[in-house]
Homo-oligomer: A and B are copies of this chain.
């Protein structure tokens, strides 16, 4: 079907050897400028493009990086992917995307799939279900460069990029406290995830600072990060049915924030009068919402960019990397409901 020209075609057409053509195209010094020009011109005229598979086979790298996220159709991830793509593109890399849908099994399969050498490195944000990361560890031990972003793991020593989840959670919770709320619940994702742990710590730190006791009934986990609406609904209902009903919820995730607002709307709970909210969200239309959600926004695009730069640094380094960077990028609090 689609049979693009090869080096050989050029060589034959010009009565040269393939190696000469190869050298001319890659501008090696030991080649007459006359032949060089001849080759270049001809290559241009037939729109010659080297076969990337042959190159990959030869150079043992594919100039592509694998990206593992839970869902593409997610505010945070689609923005992060945009950042990843912006850097990768400039540096001549393709990105290959796979989704875990928050499933551990799917994550294993995807990683395996990507790893079987079609990618030079991996940009990974763990699935909500993932607790055991031996699949990644094994790969990493074999030499596959991996950079974590957003949902990171401490069990692998490599570059990591995360949002300042602690501070973001602290800020949001403190905002609720300062606005006058006392019984602040916390709705969060899977307890394994680094983001959940860090945000929980931020939440607790804020409560501590103001001498508000942490109430374990007030902390609700949604193991799939709100991917299933029932999960979120159950958690919210549980909170609403507590004897000492919370007067505010700090929500530790985008889908959870949205899901929670949907449920409260359905239940006709007035926000913030009956229940105040503050939550992580990367939606860019929060200003248009009826509920004035105070939100913590993660620097998704920048995080994608940073992670990609780090990965490329590993990929293009001549020497093995031993010092790993652990970058934390600030979140931003947007106050809306007070």
Contact = CB atoms under 8 A, between A and B. Distances in A.
Contacts of A62: 53
A197 interface: no
What is the predominant secondary structure among interface residues of chain A facing chain B? mixed
A172 B322 CA distance: 59
A316 to B, nearest CB: 12
Interface stretch (A11-19, A44-52, A187-195): A44-52
Interface stretch (A34-42, A73-81, A158-166, A325-333): A73-81
Contacts of A117: 2, 4, 49, 51-53
A291 B285 CA distance: 12
B94 A95 contact: no
A75 B73 CA distance: 7
A228 B56 CA distance: 39
A2 B61 CA distance: 10
Most buried by B among A53, A82, A94: A53
Nearest to A264: B288
Contacts of A53: 53, 56-57, 62, 117-118
Given A116-B52, A288-B258, A72 B96 contact: no
A24 to B, nearest CB: 19
B99 A85 contact: yes
Interface string A59-77: 0001010000001111100
A144 interface: yes
A313 interface: no
Interface string A71-110: 1111100110110010001000011111100000000000
A262 interface: yes
Interface residues of A, number: 53
Nearest to A115: B49
Contacts of A285: 258, 283, 285, 289
A57 B56 CA distance: 9
Nearest to A289: B288
A81 B89 contact: no
A1 interface: yes
B94 A118 contact: yes
Contact of A71 (B1, B51, B82, B258): B82
Nearest to A67: B97
Contacts of A261: 288
B72 A142 contact: no
The 9 closest A-B pairs by CB, nearest first: A49-B116, A2-B143, A1-B143, A73-B78, A53-B56, A290-B290, A52-B118, A53-B57, A78-B78
Interface of A: 1-4, 49-54, 56-57, 62, 64, 71-75, 78-79, 81-82, 85, 89, 94-99, 112-118, 142-145, 258, 261-262, 265, 283, 285, 287-291
16 contacts: A3-B142, A50-B116, A53-B117, A72-B85, A73-B79, A78-B78, A85-B97, A85-B99, A89-B98, A94-B98, A96-B96, A262-B287, A262-B288, A285-B289, A288-B291, A289-B289
